[in-house]
Amino acid sequence: VSRILYLNYTQTGDSAKVGERFLEPIRAAGHEIVSQHIEPVEPYPFPWGSFSNMLQVFPECHFGGGKGIKPLTVANNEPFDLVILVYQIWFLAPSIPIQDFFRSQHAELLRGKKVITICVCRDMWHAGSQKMKELLVKGGAYQIDNIAVTYQGRPTATYITVPRMLTTGKRDRVWGLPPAEIEASQYERVGMLGEAVAQKLPTHGPESREPMLTGLGAVKVYRDRVIPEVLGSRMYYDWSRLVKYGPFNRKVMIFIFMIYLPLSITCCLPFVGLGCLLILPLLIGPVERYSQKLAQPSGEKAKPTKA
């Protein structure tokens, strides 16, 4: 029987539901699970009320972090065979409460431990998951698997449905778009991955750093979104610095960013797309190499071999 530490922060409850679905088969197999919910000292409101309210936190997602987390009830030296960390993406980075966990003394819980991460987000998990890998390496943890879970619908639909849900709390269908929910098939997939972990745990020795979910489709990398995410992440970082050190006060800088963001998406993105198309042959190799890196440690779904 393995002793597992389950760590999660949740705002809407969605990532907690994903985490619970993953844990179900593991719990059923008799493994001991110690749950710790990460709570920020100053809670983030849900629903947020407006997109402008959401934007108030983007600088801290990339620079500086939040006001810290409430103390957890497990001691840093408690023994665990595995840590399962369920987190969400805010502005292409791990959410502030999760980053604050890594800044807290509780991050010592992860030192030398095997960690399975589950990343829940609207649609864009790549950049945030790379940042999570950096946090884990810095904290001395071993990430053995990573699962990505996204909301239902095309990116163009979730750009509307998920912010609508986050600002108003409404999840129903609007303009014929799918509801702002994680699809049942995603929960089934997560349950299947939890089942695989439950089965492999007894033979996964303490020294083993091997992934347990290789070839099972724990993540799917979207090649067409690799470049926009890299550029978007850079943009958030630069603007976070500008908000902090720029010529105007924070409120004014965030207001300017609020105008800049939709303009840059509607005006610059077509040019970026065109530019990428022109130099496509030069980009294919680097994008593929980066995608392979993103897919690690679990890798994407194994392609069926021809008989």
How near is the Cβ of 24 to ligand FMN at its closest, in Å? 17
**Residue number, 123 or 201, with CB nearest to ligand FMN:** 123
Instruction: Please give the helix or strand (H or E) that residue 82 lies within, else none.
Output: strand 82-90
Q: Report the residue number, 46 or 142, with the smaller CB distance to ligand FMN.
A: 46
Q: Which is nearer to ligand FMN, 11 or 298 (CB)?
A: 11
Shortest CB 243 distance to ligand FMN, Å:
15
CA distances from 254 to 92, 161, 173, 224, 246 (A): 17, 23, 31, 29, 11
Minimum distance from residue 180 beta carbon to ligand FMN (Å): 9
Give contact residues for ligand FMN (rule: CB under 6 A): 10-16, 54, 57, 88-92, 120-124, 162, 166
Q: Which of 288, 286, 232 is nearest to 260 (CA)?
A: 232
Name the 3-class secondary structure at 88.
strand
* CA 255/CA 252 separation, integer angstroms: 5
User: Could you tell me where the DSSP H helices lie in the chain?
Assistant: 14-28, 51-55, 58-62, 96-103, 126-138, 155-168, 184-200, 226-245, 250-263, 269-278, 280-295
CA nearest to 123, candidates 10, 253, 220: 220
- Residue 280: CB minimum distance to ligand FMN, A: 25
Residue 305 CB, nearest distance to ligand FMN (Å)? 33
Cβ closer to ligand FMN: 96 or 212?
96
Of residues 52 and 208, the one with the C-beta less far from ligand FMN: 52
Supply φ then ψ for residue 249, to 5 degrees: -70, 170
